[in-house]
Every structure is written in structure tokens, then in C-alpha cells.
Amino acid sequence: MNGKRENRIEKIVSDLLRGRRLKLRGGDAEEKEAIVTAARLAGARQGLQRMHPAFRKRLADVLENTPREGWVTRRAALVAGLGLAAGAAGGVLLGRSGRPEPAAAQTIEPADPLWVDVGALSDFPEGEGRRVVAGGVSAYVFRKGDTVSAVSSICSHLPCELSWDGGNGNLVCPCHPARFTPAGKPAVHYGLADLSTVHAEVKAGRVLVLGTK
Amino acid sequence: MTPEEPANEPAEVVQLPVAPRATDIALDELELVYAFIYARVGNRPDAEDLTQQVAMKAIPRLRQGAPASAIRGYLFATARSVLGAFWSTRLGLSEAELREDLALATPPPSTPSEDRTETVQQILGKLSDNYRRVLELRFLHGYSLKEVATEMHSTVGAIKVMQLRALRAAAKLGDPE
């Protein structure tokens, strides 16, 4: 610690008593015991501290909205019967890498597949998402000319049913601020997994979706 | 089967991996962690940053729906690790060196609502009169250095030196746990 140590310690104590952060320098290590003791005395002077309400709210947002870490793989989740939650497993924890990695899309392959007729192609307006149910699979179908594509209607982060927002051309999760494009890509900036895609095709003017009985 | 209008569809209710109750439990436990950390860093900005670090590290565990008792143990273990990293970064020392010197591995208090002011008073009570007085006036009563000097009929320079020596002496008396 350069200069008079008592001056440096007084600066640290003064900052602590004003509620400021501990701003230490390398040379302060020589007085580490005194500094740590000063921090503890400052921490004790007002008794047990509780979180400020604004910080508690911020923390609640972090807990509820942080994308899930890859601690469960999608495959492991499916095996464990957590199919709905599995879509979220590709997300990464914010703060670990700072920039979430994009998650690859998965395609739903039903164990006991059945092509289900969900309506005439003419029932599906171009540029509009239409929700259909094909047995145990629910999906949003999008028409492009004479072809169709489909994505799961379940959010990849929280297992909630998406709704179609025609104004923005997005699928919207009612459970948290998550939006997806008709291709199933996240339309928000944090690390959501893509929506699962669903097999869909047009045959003889009818739209078929691969679902279950 | 025909396409369905989303507007007519009732919302499907599915049990979430992180139910509101789990979040509430986590926040209540994090309140204790915050108090634990605040008592060691002595200021709100650092305490909030470190508590948030603990929460982020613990999110996967919190989402497994573990009971509060298991969550608490994990959170405090994480808090000690985060605190060790905080001090080692700020002081430029290895965590091992800090842990050895400063007893950072000390387990959390079994009764988080303990009156820490009283505990600190016990530590201060072991100091010589002048050392105790300067720390009491500065930390417990919030006096400025000049006010302490006036109160103790001394000079600001002398009080500064006494404050440093008193802190060193208090540190030698042990962890104020």
C-alpha cells in the first residue's frame, strides 16, 4: 500500500460508510485483514439487511426469465418424459457466455405416427398462422403458395400454448416475453431454442400434418 | 378436422418447471444469502451484484424443485465461493490464501436472524478502550473522522492511525461470527 496506510484505510472506511462499493487496489492486500474487518463492521452496523424491493423484483425476473442452461439435454428430457420442457433445454444461462448460442431446430417424430387431414389448403390464408390439432400434436401451419410448413404450438422455453399475432406476424408465448417467427426462430434477443418443426404436406388440395391417433 | 381460430382457444395450463412457488422459495432463501453477503462486504451495490451472481449460478438447481433446506445449503456454498472470488479479485490474492487467512470457508450462521450488531459489540468489547471507542463511533454511530476526533479530544491524523490499528486489532480477535 503506497502512501500512508491510515489514509488509504480511511478512504475505504469512508466509502463503506457512505454505502459505496469496495474499490480496492493491488497494494491494499497488505491490509487485507483490516479491510475485511472494516467491511464486516460496516455490514453489521445496521443489523440484518433485507433486499431492496427493486432488487428483489429484478432477481425474480432473472429467476423466471433466464433461459434454461443445458443441464438437461433434449434427448434426456424426452426420455424422462419431459417433452414439453425439452424445447427449452438448448438455451444457455445468461451471464455465463454473455451471448447465447443458437439452438438447432428439432422435428417432432411421433412414436405412433399418423398423417391427419387438418383441412383444405384454401382454408389456410397465406401469411397467417393457423393452429391445428393432429391427435397428440398441436401445431401452427403456414401456407406459402401451394406448400405448407408447420411448427409446434408449444413455446420452446416455457411449456405454454403460443398464440398467433397477425399484426406482428409472430407466434407469442402468453407465459413470458417470447416471440417466434413462422419458421420457429426466436424473435427476441436472448437464447431461446427454436420451436420444434412438425411434418406437414399438401395432398390433393388437403393439408396433412404428421400427428398421432 | 379443421383449422382452429387461436382467439377461440382457451389457454392450455401446463405445470411449469419453475412454478411461482419455487421462485418465491428461491427469493426467500436469497434474502438470507443477501444478508450473509451484505454482512461481509458492508455495502449494498456489491451485495446485490454478488447475490445476483449466486442466483445465476444456482438457477439450474433451483429449477429442479429441491426442498428449501437443500436449496439453502447449495446457495450458501455458492455464496461462499462467490465471496472468495470477490475478495481474491479485489485484493489480488489467491482464494486459497484468503481462505486460510480470513476464514472465508466459515459456514453460515445457523440462525440467520442473529443480531450481528450485538456480535460485533462482543468483539469490540475485547479491544482496548480507545480502539473500541473509535470503531464504535465510526461504524456503529456513523461519526465522521472529524467528529470522532472532537469526541475523543484528539486530532484527525491521530484518529486515522488509531482507526487502522483498531481494525488490525479487531481482525486478530477473530471472525465476528
Q: Does B109 touch chain A (CB under 8 A)?
A: no
In chain A, where does the domain assigned CATH 2.102.10.10 lie?
107-211
In chain B, where does the domain assigned CATH 1.10.1740 lie?
20-102
From chain A, the residues in CB contact with B26 under 8 A are: 63
Q: Which residues contact A73 (CB under 8 A, 6 or more apart)?
A: A89
Question: Contact at 8 Å (CB) between A92 and A69?
Answer: yes
Class of domain A107-211: mainly beta
Q: Which chain B residue has its CA at the smallest distance from A206's CA?
A: B2
Q: b/e for B83-97, b at 16 or more Cβ within 10 A? A: bbebbbebbebebee
ipTM reported for the complex surpasses 0.85 = no
- What mean pLDDT is predicted for residues B7-29? 58
Distance between A32 CA and the closest CA of chain B, angstroms: 7
* Contacts with A, B 123-152, CB within 8 Å: 135, 138-140, 142, 145
Residue-wise pLDDT for A58-67, tens only, equals: 888 888 776 6
Nearest CB partner across the interface for B39, out of A24, A40, A64: A40
Phi first, then psi: what are they for A115, rounded to 5°? -75, 125
CB contact (8 A) between residue B46 and residue A22: yes
Q: Whole-prediction pTM value?
A: 0.55
pLDDT at position A156, please? 78
Nearest CB partner across the interface for A47, out of B51, B90, B115: B115
Q: Does B11 touch chain A (CB under 8 A)?
A: yes
Q: Does B45 touch chain A (CB under 8 A)?
A: yes
Residue-wise pLDDT for A68-81, tens only, equals: 543 333 333 343 33
* A132: helix, strand or coil: strand
Residue-wise pLDDT for A22-54, tens only, equals: 888 767 888 888 998 899 888 887 777 889 999
Q: Does B105 touch chain A (CB under 8 A)?
A: no
Select from 1.10.1740, 1.10.3470, 3.40.710, 3.30.70 the CATH code of B20-102. Answer: 1.10.1740
Residue-wise pLDDT for B89-147, tens only, equals: 888 776 666 654 444 444 444 444 445 556 677 778 889 999 999 999 998 888 999 99
Fold of B116-172: Arc Repressor Mutant, subunit A (1.10.10)
In chain B, where does the domain assigned CATH 1.10.10.10 lie?
116-172
